[in-house]
Structure 1
Amino acid sequence: MSSSDTVRFRVVVNHEEQYSVWFTERPLPAGWTETGVSGTREECLAHIAEVWTDLTPRSVREARGSAAA
């Protein structure tokens, strides 16, 4: 087992619905919230690839939606 297999990460999301991975032992940076998913870096990145299908920030998606109305 390599040391990268023992380091644990968690999936976090910000107010723009942008995802990232963060070390479990470090405090969350301001503006980020835990999603409840944790694991190896690779596991977390695989989860992000599944759920983050539209990379457009939330504010831009909302602005586009209100412009279409």
Structure 2
Amino acid sequence: MNGSITDRTYRVVHNDEQQYSLWWADRALPNGWYPEGTQGSREECLARIGEVWTDMRPLSLRRRMEAAASD
């Protein structure tokens, strides 16, 4: 393992459903995940996720619910 949790550099990633996660900065991203732009300590990245991920529902569910509400 390369370092402990506290001394690793992380990045914030998201997928097409607008779900967010942490990923080690020195590792390739899994398919379907994209860098959000924030990179730093675990705490910094978790704080960023807390700022931007305010609705935990996947994007496809939010769209279906919005469409059902407008019918």
Q: Under a length normalisation based on structure 1, what TM-score does the superposition of the two structures give?
A: 0.90
Q: CA RMSD in A?
A: 1.0
Q: C-alpha offsets along residues 5-61 of structure 1, whole Å, 9 cap, x if unaligned? A: 431000000011000000001000000000110000111001101111110110000
Q: Could you list the runs of 4 or more consecutive aligned residues of structure 1 that deviate by over 6 angstroms after TM superposition?
A: none
Q: Which residue does the alignment assign to 1:13?
A: 14
Q: Distance in 2 between matches of 1:14 and 1:37?
A: 15
Q: Structure 2: give runs of 5+ residues left out of the alignment.
A: none
Q: Structure 1: give runs of 5+ residues left out of the alignment.
A: none
Q: Under a length normalisation based on structure 2, what TM-score does the superposition of the two structures give?
A: 0.88
